[in-house]
Structure 1
Amino acid sequence: MYAPDAATPDAATPDAVSTTRQRSAPDKVAIPALDDGVLDRVAAGEHHDPHSVLGSHPVASEGVSDALTVIRTRRPLATRVSATLDSGARVELSHVRSGIWQGAHVAGHQGYRIEASYDGGPDWVADDAYAFAPAIGELDLHLIGEGRHERLWDVLGAHRRTLGTAERPVTGTSFTVWAPHASAVRVIGTFNDWHGEGHALRSMGGSGVWEIFVPGVETGALYKFELRGRDGRWVSKADPLARFSETAGLTASIVTESDYSWNDEEWMTARAARDPHNGPMSVYELHAGSWRLGLGYRELADHLIEYVTELGFTHVEFMPLAEHPFGGSWGYQVTGYYAPTSRFGDPDDLRYLIDRLHQAGIGVLVDWVPGHFATDTWALARFDGEALYEHPDPRRGEHKDWGTLIFDFGNPQVRNFLVANALYWIEEFHVDGLRVDAVASMLYLDYSRQPGEWLPNVHGGNENLEAISLLQEANATAYRRNPGIVMIAEESTNWGGVTAPTSGGGLGFGLKWNMGWMHDSLQYIANDPMWRSFHHGEITFSFLYAFSENFLLPISHDEVVHGKGSLIGKMPGDHWQKLANMRAFLTFMWAHPGKQLLFMGQEFGQLSEWSEARDLDWWILDQPAHRGVHSLVTQLNRVYRENPALWEHDNDASGFEWLDGGDSTRNIVSFLRRDSNGDEIAVFMNFSGTTVGPYRAGFPHPGEWDEILNSDAAEFGGSGIGNLGSVTVKDEPWAGRPASADITLPPLAGLWLKRRR
């Protein structure tokens, strides 16, 4: 038997069998009695270790030579109670106090069932929840105590299990929760009419874990935990490790088990052998609820796969899929970290969607939000009556700007909760990577705080040392256990070493969002071409630090909401010019070192700002000019994937070389991308509003250079100005280059030329 937590009030209560006070069992054998206060607490579901009283226990009794076993059970309002042993013997129980019955036998320890009769009601026969040993083992408890259980979801939460014996197996559900400040814990649900007095959990000692196995509880049952804090007040909470939950204003957790059979073995095997950081990656970011309204996970699979395959993106990235109560938060204020939102189906439906994407050759990324969580009183906030998952000091535990709570990153069990959660999405749902939200808010103790509103670290600085350690642990563990995945940081500052390995003191991410590129390039492209020459540094500055981290270039949902308008809405000029500017911008984005991410709707030039409450403007694809943008993105992805020069050396300068980065007067930028086989692509960007040509450009090699992409092509809605499919580069030095050619640069357009081998 585990020792009770010394911090709980019941720990000091003498639960030992009294030898001075006796009651008679039905067979007249004297059964040592328990203290009335203990019985009352057990009857009320307020005892920290009800299993030490209820269930089957060997006891010593005067005058009895054989080993005596006493059975106790809680059956309030019953008129008669008995226990039927697995051997078939029947033991009559007598009422002791407060609805607790007991009886003794000398047949040795056996499984049993309880039968109870009630006035005016049917007899009730069932297995006793207190007849079973803990479903959680010593090693699990040790790992939880250390904060090192990498598969935490296997032991905490609700799990369907079969216990008992081979001759008489008993199926039910074990409920296990970490609540170190609680003095008592009960589970309530549809299986006990939401009254938990008869299903109080036992404390598993200093680990802070509580546990019970409830026979007969099946998949689909709703449940919550009731916890009594040290102040004596009860709170009702959803399960932090619930793997399925209610939504739409309902807050119960749901017992679930998976019977899904994966069919993505080929993908998973290939993934383990790939290096995603130095491979092609163009990401289509979407909000599952508003890509097309009304689609569940399974329906989404058919429509999304066809669409993304047509466009040629290598990955999709879902905005958070963890359970959240308020749809307007887009999933960034989470209440159920281990529960895929039930808005679109059950967890196996999500597995089906990801499986289908993998079978279609499409990778899956998911947003993960470890920096803060929702304040809803039925969820993680003050979980066991006081601060537990959140830092207790509001100067570290609250995000006032967002109305959320901040995890206590220094607590080993909270860290374990988060690290295991990252692994859960990767390992249980075969997710290929996580985009970690709001990393900057985790790194800085003074993030969005005024002087006096934050606490410095032990060295007096503003770095959140505990959060840094958490991120390092999550990244290192995810990469160690799952080769081929990618961890991506949304980090908006100049923090050094975001993608450096943890062994060298880095944060250990694989990729970092290049927010500087996003800000500067959008600011540049918003200018009228007449004035862009004065802002030339905004379009070239990102190349100075392009290889300081492993970057991903994001045009995400954050850039097309909250009054920012759509991507095309940021472009200057009339409608044709807006479309041309947008095509040029996307061509520059796909050619720039780094991976790409584009939010849904921007691939066809959606005019309206995104809202989670409505569909995308799919109708606009009927307009040829907008269909042209869609066609350009399709071509960008095709050419990008087919040419390692555009991605093989994203993370080192050997794959990049300037042709001319200083032609500010004409708003032209040109550079080379190359791969390890010597293939080269020359990129020319003409951000002016006029055709430039003949434009003398230096090249590294003479010969034929094919025009593999022209964003001004008529098929994309452009004016059709170009170079008739190829350029002949002559052996004539120019601008420090051994070869040169006169080329035509279309207005507001990008041109890619590839050397013919």
Structure 2
Amino acid sequence: MALRDTSRPEAAGPVPSVAAPLEPADRDRLLGGAHHDPHAVLGAHPVPDGTLFRALRPNARAVSVVVDGIRTALSSEGGGLFSAVLPVAEIPSYTLLVVYDDGEQEVEDPYRFLPALGELDLHLIREGRHEQLWKALGAEPMTHQGVTGTRFTVWAPNAQGVRVAGEFTYWDGTQYPMRSLGASGVWELFLPGIGEGEPYKFEITSRDGRRFLKADPMARRAEVPPDTASIVHASHHEWGDGGWMARRGDTPVHEAPFSVYEVHLPSWRPGLDYRRLAKELPAYVSTMGFTHVELMPVAEHPFGGSWGYQVTSYYAPTSRLGTPDDFKYLVDALHQAGIGVIMDWVPAHFPKDDWALARFDGDPLYEPGDSRRAEHPDWGTYEFDYGRTEVRNFLVANAVYWCEEFHIDGLRVDAVASMLYLDYSRDSGQWEPNVFGGRENLDAMAFLQEMNATVYRRCPGVVTIAEESTAWDGVTRPTDSGGLGFGLKWNMGWMHDSLQYMQKEPVHRKYHHNEMTFSMVYAYSENYVLPISHDEVVHGKQSLVSKMPGDWWQRRANHRAYLGFMWAHPGKQLLFMGQEFAQGAEWNEAHGPEWWLLDDDYCSAGDHRGVQQLVRDLNARYRSLPALWQRDTDPDGFQWISGDAADDNVFAFLRSGTAGTPLLAVSNFSPVVRHDYRLWVPDGMPAWQEELNTDDLRYGGSGVGAEGPCKPEDGFLRLTLPPLATVWLTPEH
């Protein structure tokens, strides 16, 4: 609200009388930020002698009421309070003329407006059933009673008082106390003239009288870190992905191709913002043939080194890369390129920053009051109080928010195991059993069920994915059958076992053969994703290719063979950026993938570019072969051909789709060529042809493989197996 000179001549009007001063208790609470109903003492109110006007304008030299163009001065009560009684029987339409040292400002009085939040909203908030909570809480630009401005609302049930502060108040909240809307714990104030782009916070007076500034938990936009204010935001993005949104739910995800490229947006191509990423990322992912991208957390977070996993603003995309509409532009571009967007979502914990969610209104609010449940021992953060109605609503609505407002196609829920177990990373005496004497967190379980059920009901075509590292039963079972209701689950067991096998020297692998076959014992107990994620290529774990034994050629060959095995194995797949071209260094968020490895000056055709070409071909073949994805959750879609050839380091299995056309995948994880290798195949196939060979020369391999179709003899194929390679074969067309 810029100052302007509005000097006008005095006009004859009603003669004001001095108003009775505020009761001392009201005055102290109002000026001390602890008044629950400032609208009862500020604004215009009928009194026996007419209408009492009272305004709170700190640092003002004078304040006048303007009615029908006539200006009437108010008397100073001290402390920034100004008042007078005008001899008018009904409350007129009026504005305030406020005089400061550098000019005058004519403004609407916030305290003449009725609440801008309806009773239905408050009822749903109290019940914890407001599935579009972001439309009721936070900062909402709007027109209210014919005046444009912003409605500010915040849940702070333990506060004595809440005030709005921003650059428009020089970060002093005195001028704009909010009113309490009763048992809901919600505070509200409509501020005329405040619009988009204004930074703000809430100044809270706690139960014990402390005052502090807090960012808005429901903020839809935040300042660029290290600044921490929330920003008033309204979206103006016009979506162009109608075709994608209409089609995305046509085929259940577990019966569709699902090949995921995991991306850390700030470091994928350092320096690119959302808009520039929208030009480069869809083009690259399309070229590589992935069906989806999975974005490491994009919600606002103060510390970049957390990679987004310590969230402070759950409703705001990180402003490091642009505005919320810029992020929508990126999602839109990916959809228009035919690429689904999955987003990491972190409801397991939140950081202790004193300006954010922690002890939000001076008491435990989003976190439990019981210290044994409040703090996460691994990460130095707080856990959410999943048993509190409003907190559960905050999180469930947040999941819906990203799917509805940003057209996100999937939520990968981080650290689910840490939510499900009361004793997670805790010793004896540091946790309390549930009401049945068990270690399960029943509140977290109920929250996850509600979140999944709500998202699937409201957002057709969306998939939820659990990063759950234990054997919790029914993670992907429907909620009406007692499961948690996720669509997919990361197969951490497969990841751990298969990588442990691959890191062994080939001469030792025969002693660990079961580590590659054990996953099929439980492959159909859940709907799985096979993840080679960022977690596996940081903090001393080495990049994927660097985990492999042998010289550089053997490492790349192992890498290629492993990817061929992974793409053929039942379950969807996920690969973290940089691993698609076998970079040798661990990922570092400061510089991202080592793209220079693909430059002509450095890379021969069969080196890093060869691995990249393999991933491109794996995805192309995968998408064109329903046998690899159509029956991922059906045991009849898989058959071992050779699962016990430990001495040979060979694995062979069949995959089949609903049409019955099979694919034969054979992996030789030894460094020797195996000539005339005998494998049984089903009857009725006159010949088998090589569909893909990770030892192909163009991938950097040795070029060993079939020279043409291979015909079964007495029900067996006799193959030449390349060294450290995976071969896919299909019946000859």
TM-score by length of 2: 0.95
Letter of the 1:727 partner, please give it.
C
2:350 is equivalent to residue 373 of structure 1: yes
Structure 2: unaligned runs, 5 residues or longer:
1-12
Q: CA deviation at 1:78?
A: 4.7
Letter of the 2:44 partner, please give it.
S
2:716 to 732, 740, 757: 740
Q: CA deviation at 1:31?
A: 6.3
2:713 is equivalent to residue 754 of structure 1: no
Matches within 5 A, 1:672-691: 672-691=654-673
1:48 to 19, 33, 36: 36
Letter of the 1:722 partner, please give it.
G
Match of 1:483 in 2: 460
Flag the 1:705–1:385 CA change in 2: closer, same or farther, 3 A. same
What are the Cα deviations for residues 640-681 of structure 1, in whole angstroms up to 9, with x where unaligned? 001111001111102111111111111111111001111110
Aligned length: 714
Letter of the 1:591 partner, please give it.
A
1:654 to 626, 636, 644: 636
Once superposed, what is the RMSD of the aligned Cα atoms? 1.7
SS at match of 1:325: coil
Match of 1:637 in 2: 619
Letter of the 2:35 partner, please give it.
H
Q: CA deviation at 1:277?
A: 2.2
Q: CA deviation at 1:164?
A: 2.7
Structure 1: unaligned runs, 5 residues or longer:
1-24, 733-738
Letter of the 1:665 partner, please give it.
D
Match of 1:726 in 2: 709
2:494 is equivalent to residue 517 of structure 1: yes
What are the Cα deviations for residues 271-303 of structure 1, in whole angstroms up to 9, with x where unaligned? 132311221000000111111111101111111
Flag the 1:80–1:305 CA change in 2: closer, same or farther, 3 A. closer
Matches within 5 A, 1:272-671: 272-622=249-599, 623=603, 624=605, 625-671=607-653
Asked if structure 2 preserves the Cα contact closer than 8 Å seen for 1:371 and 1:407, the reply is: yes
Flag the 1:577–1:75 CA change in 2: closer, same or farther, 3 A. closer
1:212 to 174, 181, 189: 189
2:27 to 27, 36, 39: 39
What are the Cα deviations for residues 238-295 of structure 1, in whole angstroms up to 9, with x where unaligned? 1111111123321111111111000000000001323112210000001111111111
Matches within 5 A, 1:243-254: 243-254=220-231
C-alpha separation in 1, matches of 2:241 and 2:518: 42
- Which range moved further: 38-47 or 535-544? 38-47
Asked if structure 2 preserves the Cα contact closer than 8 Å seen for 1:26 and 1:94, the reply is: no
C-alpha separation in 2, matches of 1:76 and 1:746: 81
C-alpha separation in 2, matches of 1:75 and 1:536: 77
What are the Cα deviations for residues 71-105 of structure 1, in whole angstroms up to 9, with x where unaligned? 321234655433223x5565553344542313234
C-alpha separation in 2, matches of 1:600 and 1:202: 49
What are the Cα deviations for residues 525-571 of structure 1, in whole angstroms up to 9, with x where unaligned? 11111111111101100011111100000000000001001000110
SS at match of 2:647: coil
Letter of the 2:716 partner, please give it.
S
SS at match of 1:729: coil
SS at match of 1:629: helix
1:179 to 156, 163, 172: 156
- Which range moved further: 699-708 or 624-633? 699-708
Letter of the 1:415 partner, please give it.
R
Match of 2:140 in 1: 159
SS at match of 2:508: helix
What are the Cα deviations for residues 577-613 of structure 1, in whole angstroms up to 9, with x where unaligned? 1011010000000000000000000000010011101
Asked if structure 2 preserves the Cα contact closer than 8 Å seen for 1:437 and 1:490, the reply is: yes
Flag the 1:341–1:414 CA change in 2: closer, same or farther, 3 A. same
Q: CA deviation at 1:212?
A: 0.6
2:74 to 88, 93, 100: 93
Asked if structure 2 preserves the Cα contact closer than 8 Å seen for 1:226 and 1:235, the reply is: yes
C-alpha separation in 1, matches of 2:354 and 2:98: 38
2:699 is equivalent to residue 699 of structure 1: no
2:120 is equivalent to residue 143 of structure 1: no
SS at match of 2:74: strand
Q: CA deviation at 1:155?
A: 1.2
Match of 1:14 in 2: none
Flag the 1:334–1:78 CA change in 2: closer, same or farther, 3 A. closer
Flag the 1:700–1:84 CA change in 2: closer, same or farther, 3 A. same
Asked if structure 2 preserves the Cα contact closer than 8 Å seen for 1:96 and 1:102, the reply is: no
Q: CA deviation at 1:756?
A: 3.0
Asked if structure 1 preserves the Cα contact closer than 8 Å seen for 2:18 and 2:75, the reply is: no
Identity within the alignment, %: 57
C-alpha separation in 2, matches of 1:755 and 1:453: 59
Asked if structure 2 preserves the Cα contact closer than 8 Å seen for 1:726 and 1:753, the reply is: no
Asked if structure 1 preserves the Cα contact closer than 8 Å seen for 2:19 and 2:83, the reply is: no
C-alpha separation in 2, matches of 1:269 and 1:58: 56
Q: CA deviation at 1:725?
A: 3.9
Letter of the 2:578 partner, please give it.
G
Flag the 1:331–1:83 CA change in 2: closer, same or farther, 3 A. same
Match of 1:8 in 2: none
Q: CA deviation at 1:44?
A: 4.2
TM-score by length of 1: 0.92
SS at match of 1:294: coil
C-alpha separation in 2, matches of 1:617 and 1:30: 75
2:110 is equivalent to residue 133 of structure 1: no
Asked if structure 2 preserves the Cα contact closer than 8 Å seen for 1:115 and 1:124, the reply is: yes
